[in-house]
Chains A and B, each alone.
Chain A
Amino acid sequence: MMKIIKKTMKYMRTGYAGSKWRRYLALTVSVGFAISMLAGCSSGSSGSGDLGSSADGLENGAELSAENSGTTGKQEVNVICWTEYLPQDVLDSFESSTGIKVNMTTYTSPDDMLAKVQTSAAGTYDLIIAPENYVPIFSNQDMLEELDREKLPNFDNIDIKYLGRTNDPTNTYSIPYMFASAVIAVNSDVISEDVDSYADLLKPEYEDKIVVIEDSRAMYAMAAMATGHGAAGVNDVSDEVLNDVEGYWTELFPNVHAFDGDSPKTLLINGECSIGLLYGAEALLAQKENPAIKCYYPEEGVYLGADSMMITSAAKNKDNAYALADYILDGEVSAGISEIFPYINPNAAALEYLGTDFTDNELTNPPADAIGRACTLEDIGDDVSKIVELWTKLKG
């Protein structure tokens, strides 16, 4: 022992060896600090995890944990949802009627959402509101709760024609929230003719006039329908469809003024663009600003996406998530959401509260033939990289 100390002292006094030794020590000290800090973080989170699981272990675990958090702090539920999709008013009234605080995380691209959910610790989010093609992605990884319909009495408000879509045929994991279509919106002050098909968009006189949503999957789907592959083509990345999509986009590119994933309606309202390929609700808001904006469901096929509510299997506030989902499914609440964000509402009870403005407008209540030629996006796994590669090629 003495020998070691002596040796150490010697190292400390001598030149080179000493500096090397010190470097090691500096490294050890700082790594030690780093590890102790990280350990601090993880022990904190595992602590709360333990609390949750011990409560789950009990038969009346939910009640107990509710009581627990009632005494220790406020009840809460963590939600991740698109921006501009779930109004703050609804969350406030939910909080005042139930006492459950809603913590919202928002995203502007579903891919961001996926990245956020995947990289956060399990149970970070209790309720996910996301496009329907993400349902199988999550459920295949056992990340979703099999829904207990008993806890969702308002589920029956959903119009049956909006249930049982390909991505979750039995609605085991998901509840439809709202539906969004993509339409062609045209400022009829500037362009007098009808633009009712994807093929019309290719006309050379529309050069640099079109604003398009920045969503490679949606754009691929529309180009596949434009080139005659129908609703089935949107999930098909065979070389044939890829080539056709590339052909269509190469032709359309000179007409595109900008891609905008956040608020394409702005460019339509301020006159920067006179044609838009954008979501129905965005088009409707643009129409409210400028009544000259006309909308068309394209002839070749309609892009229709559902957003679904899902509860995560690792949710820390599962009962609160059920409570919020059921609250959203209430007819009057759902009508309130549609008044602010006028997407297509699958809630039959809500339609009774909404006026004829809502039910008579094709954008919020699409005609049967438009629904008839609509597509459903499915999860295509690794093949999505083919679409991204094509996108890079077109833009690069």
Chain B
Amino acid sequence: MNMRIKRQKKKMGSFWAKYAMISPISLWMYLLVAIPFLYIIAISFMNKGTYGGVTVGFTIHNYLDILNPLYITTFAKSIGISLAVTVICLLIAYPFAYFVAQKKVVQKKVLMAMVMIPFCVSMIIRIFSWTNILRAEGVINHVLMAVGLIKEPLKLVYNQTGAMIGLVYMLLPFMILPLYSSIEKLDPMLLEAASDLGARPLKSFLQITLPLTKAGIFAGSVMVFIPSMGLYFITDLMGGSKTLVIGNLIKNQFITARNWPLGAAMSVILMLITFGMLKGYQAAGGSMDDLSGI
């Protein structure tokens, strides 16, 4: 009997220690993730207040409102833009990550640090710098015209091209990091073996490198595709406010139209799209751990 109580006491001690350690992180998750998430879902079923805010009640008409062809088209266009951004990021990031992975340890660290360092500067400042570089009288057009390659300045900013450049630039590191970590794990002996057995570089790339780095490709694509639908300030500042992503739609509903429930319903749809993407990613054999980057 005595022994049993002692054992139980010991159990109780470790039990409290465990919860003392878990509670800060679960508190964090409840306050900053779960509660806002549930709040958004809740107000998406309420009625709008005239001057913003919501009036309590239950309705599904916010979801029916999204079926408006206007919003469906914008959603579709936004998804199209995101797909294009993802493909462009992949085409740039893959060779880069491959190149870095072949380098010596120090060079690798330096090159990867160069990918990360821009994050130390505010996104908005980097966006403004880009508009200055890309505009009609900016550096790029000046140089190209001085060299004589073009006669008229190229329209690189304040249009869809500008928005795409901004999105690709901003999201490229999220593609590079998972790709790099999966390419780096690749065993070079496999490629040597392939070449010994007579495979040409293209064949060994398609049959060995690509399948083995699939996890990185999927993870990078998910991490580029999802945020690209929401980064509304990039389309505002670099796209001259002329193209809309889903983020712009949501922002306009919350801010300009003062229709919080409709904005919330759109957010829920965006979350469902994200969730669907992640499920698809898992179904394709992706691991959630790969999404954390390095």
Contacts and interface: CB of A to CB of B under 8 A. Distances in A.
Interface of A: 9, 12, 22, 25-26, 29-31, 33-34, 37, 109, 111-112, 114-115, 118-119, 137, 141, 208, 214, 216, 256-261, 270-272, 381-382, 384-385, 388-389, 391-393, 395-396
B255 A258 contact: no
Contacts of B274: none
Contacts of B243: 395
Interface in B225-241: 236, 240-241
Contacts, number: 105
Contacts of B254: 115
A34 B30 contact: yes
A137 B51 contact: yes
A272 B52 contact: no
A4 to B, nearest CB: 15
A interface SS class: helix
Interface of B: 8, 11, 15, 19, 22-23, 26-27, 30-31, 35, 48, 50-53, 70-71, 73-74, 77, 135-137, 155, 158, 236, 240-244, 249, 252-259
Nearest to B12: A12
Contacts of B240: 256-260
A392 B52 contact: no
Given A30-B27, A384-B258, A392-B70, 20 more contacts: A12-B8, A25-B19, A29-B23, A33-B27, A37-B31, A109-B256, A112-B255, A114-B258, A118-B52, A214-B241, A216-B256, A259-B240, A259-B241, A259-B242, A270-B137, A382-B48, A385-B259, A391-B252, A392-B244, A392-B252
Given A34-B31, A260-B241, A111 B158 contact: no
Nearest first, the 5 closest Cβ-Cβ pairs linking A and B are: A258-B240, A259-B241, A388-B257, A30-B26, A258-B158
Contact of A9 (B8, B48, B52, B73): B8
A381 B53 CA distance: 13
A252 to B, nearest CB: 12
Contact of B249 (A25, A114, A271, A392): A392
B256 A388 contact: yes
A257 B53 contact: no
13 contacts: A25-B19, A29-B19, A29-B23, A30-B30, A33-B27, A34-B35, A114-B51, A118-B52, A257-B240, A258-B158, A261-B241, A391-B252, A392-B249
Contacts of B30: 30-31, 34
Contacts of A141: 51
A389 B254 CA distance: 13
A46 B26 CA distance: 27
Contacts of B27: 30, 33-34, 37
A83 B294 CA distance: 41
Contacts of A9: 8
Which one of B77, B241, B244, B259 has the highest number of Cβ atoms from chain A below 10 Å of its Cβ?
Answer: B241
